Amino acid sequence: MNNRQNDRLAGVKAFFSVIWRNPMSRAGFIILLVFLLMAVFGPMVIPPLKSDYANRLQGPSAAHWLGTDLAGKDTLLQLILGSRDVLLVAAYAGLFAVLIAAVIGIVAGLNGGWVDRILMLFTDVVLTMPSFPVTMILSMIVRITDPLVFGLVLGLWSWAGLAKAIRSQVLGLKHREFIEASRIMGISKLNIILYDVLPNLVSYIAVNFISIMKGAITSSVGLMILGLVPFQGNHWGVMIQVAISQTGALLGSASMVYFLAPVICLMLFQLGSYFFASGLDEALNPRLRS
Amino acid sequence: MSLVTIFFAIVAMFLVIQSMPGDPVQTLAAEISRTENLEMDLAYAKAKAQLNYDPDVPVLQRLGTYLGGILRGNLGNSLAYRQPVVNLVLGALPWTLLVLSISLTLSFTVGVIAGIFIAWQRKRWLNGLLNLWQSIFGSIPDYIIAYLLIFLFAVTLGWLPSRGPYSAQVTPGFNAAFIGNVLRHAVLPVMAYFLTTVANWTIGMRANALGVLGEDYVAYAAARGLSRRRILVHYVGRNSILPMITSLAISFGFMFGGSPLIENLFMYPGVGYYLNQAISRRDYPLMQGMYFIMIVVVVLSGLLAEWLYAVLNPRLRER
């Protein structure tokens, strides 16, 4: 057992050294880490958010580095408070999607036959219906109150592509010697999946987890802009929606900063994910290594 | 096969929409009894008749009625617009297809040409430029780009219109003024799609072209003294464009899915705009109709891409 733990530790170390060596994934890793720290520790250390109607819609100043919103609340504080829910929603969405995709992909790939056919028909049906419009309707059916539910709604329709990819990976693995060997040795299916199949898919799933997260952020903000999610709490999407619909950022008033601040954060986060994922892909996929 | 997928997708959509909270008949009945001063149960019966929808009937039977209606070209009546959904769908589809097909053709063509060019040139700064472009436009959602475009070109500079499909001054019809006006209105939505998707095609094409450029037959063609143009178009282009064709359908479906946001921002009366209207007004038949057309168009675009692939791929051609 101790041996196995040591192996794992070495594996994790090797993983991070691979990420660090690739300049793209290093940049992405640093950006994501900054956002993660901001989301975890930011809300603990900042002063409480106060409304201050005397100083509403101000530009950047010494007291308010990024200005204030239409209730006089500090923009920077809102950004920091919002980062937690942005990340939580995206992470839950990625988690749910990856979970569904892995179960469906692995079961379909390993079993084959009619199980495979039914699961793939189901996947094709999901793929046929564009995900954003479906999510729009789902967000009307489910009352979205917290990040967990929001993540579930977003993840529910974004697993299909990954499930197909995992299935074909499993099909490729299925007849390799080490899996055949486990099968002949009479090892249970669950054990084969956990110890032989999954480790081979981890890197692939990690890359997809990040890109699903990226997509989830895009759609979560989109749903908020359309006003379909009565989300209580702080989220960059809420800020953007308020900026567009209530402060007239479109007309070029002082609230442009209030609009641009979350947009730029959003962009930086997406950029970090993109760098991290493509660097990771390059680092873990020997065919892409230059 | 695709018919089976369409069938199941429609059933899934129907069941999902049916499970939405709120009863449309109740809402309409309340409105009728208010405006026409009718008894509630009379109004209820009238609402049921108007909607051709009865919540007391089991879901499966309603599904049967709905599917039967589709076969006869009847998608029910819209609650909010008080007209057959079919008319609304047929009115909305051309606008979405117009914008999406221009955007997709433009970004595909530009991306493919740029991809070959960058692969051929092998210049460091060109690659850097491409990466920079993708880093910026790949990270901002297309609706935010659309928003910034409106701010820049419509509000600040005042060069282009940002709302609706055409101005009220022109008469719809086959005349130059109308067509020009429609195109002017389409510029900003098309740009929003184009800016965010063009780099994907360029990157994919560059990768494919780099692979093909390493093939022996390209070296042989160059050794035969063929012109650079001929090598790029007929040898490299044809072979590296093939894998891109299948992505066309996926990309089209994705753009279609994003249309509610873009069309809402530009007040562009396409499928996405009406879908959004239907959802915010709880107009169930309209929702189902717009979904139906989305599913059909996405499946058809997949078939179209398959056909295009077969036409362009000499290995699949019949001898």
List pLDDT tens digits, range B150-197. 888 877 777 777 777 777 677 777 777 777 777 888 888 898 888 888
Q: Smallest Cα–Cα separation from A233: which of A89, A73, A82?
A: A82
What ipTM did this prediction achieve?
Answer: 0.78
Distance, CA of B160 to chain centre: 22
What pLDDT score was predicted for residue B71? 78
Burial of B36 (0-12, 13-18, 19+ CB in 10 A): exposed
List of chain B residues whose C-beta atoms are within 8 Å of the C-beta of residue A226: 260-261, 264, 276
Q: Write the residue in B139, B264, B279 that is nearest to A267 by C-beta.
A: B139
pTM: 0.81
Q: Which residue has the tokens 């042989």?
A: B220
A68 strand-pairing partners: A74
Distance CA A31, CA A149 (A): 27
Distance CA B62, CA B150 (A): 44
B84 strand-pairing partners: B77
Distance CA A139, CA A133 (A): 10
B293 strand-pairing partners: none
List pLDDT tens digits, range B260-292. 888 888 888 888 888 888 888 877 888 888 888
List pLDDT tens digits, range B214-265. 778 878 888 887 777 888 777 787 888 888 887 888 888 888 888 888 888 8
- Of B198 and B19, the one with more pLDDT: B198
Compute the average pLDDT of residues A45-72: 65
Domain A11-289 has CATH 3.40.50.300: no
For residue A196, give how far its alpha carbon lies from the nearest alpha carbon of chain B (Å): 32
For residue A116, give how far its alpha carbon lies from the nearest alpha carbon of chain B (Å): 15
| pLDDT over threshold 60, residue A288 | no
List of chain B residues whose C-beta atoms are within 8 Å of the C-beta of residue A133: 257, 260, 272, 275, 290-291, 294
**Per-window interface: A 174-213 vs B, CB < 8 A:** none
Distance CA B140, CA B128 (A): 19
Burial of B207 (0-12, 13-18, 19+ CB in 10 A): middle
List pLDDT tens digits, range B62-96. 777 778 777 777 777 777 777 888 888 888 888 88
Compute the average pLDDT of residues A109-118: 86
Q: Which residue has the tokens 């720290």?
A: A37
**Per-window interface: B 278-307 vs A, CB < 8 A:** 279-280, 287, 290-291, 294-295, 298-299
The tokens describing A142, both together, are: 């489910």
CB within 8 A of B300, min separation 6: which ones? none
User: Degrees (nearest 5) of the Cα angle A150, A152, A155?
Assistant: 110
B178 strand-pairing partners: none
Q: Smallest Cα–Cα separation from B133: which of B151, B154, B110, B155?
A: B110
DSSP structure class, residue B237? I
Are the Cβ atoms of B12 and A125 closer than 8 angstroms?
Answer: yes
A74 strand-pairing partners: A68
Compute the average pLDDT of residues A200-211: 82
CB within 8 A of A253, min separation 6: which ones? A57, A247
Residue A24 contacts residue A281 (beta carbons within 8 Å)? no
Q: Is A288 on the interface with B (CB under 8 A)?
A: no
For residue B145, give how far its alpha carbon lies from the nearest alpha carbon of chain A (Å): 10
**For B300, which residue in chain A has the nearest alpha carbon?**
A128
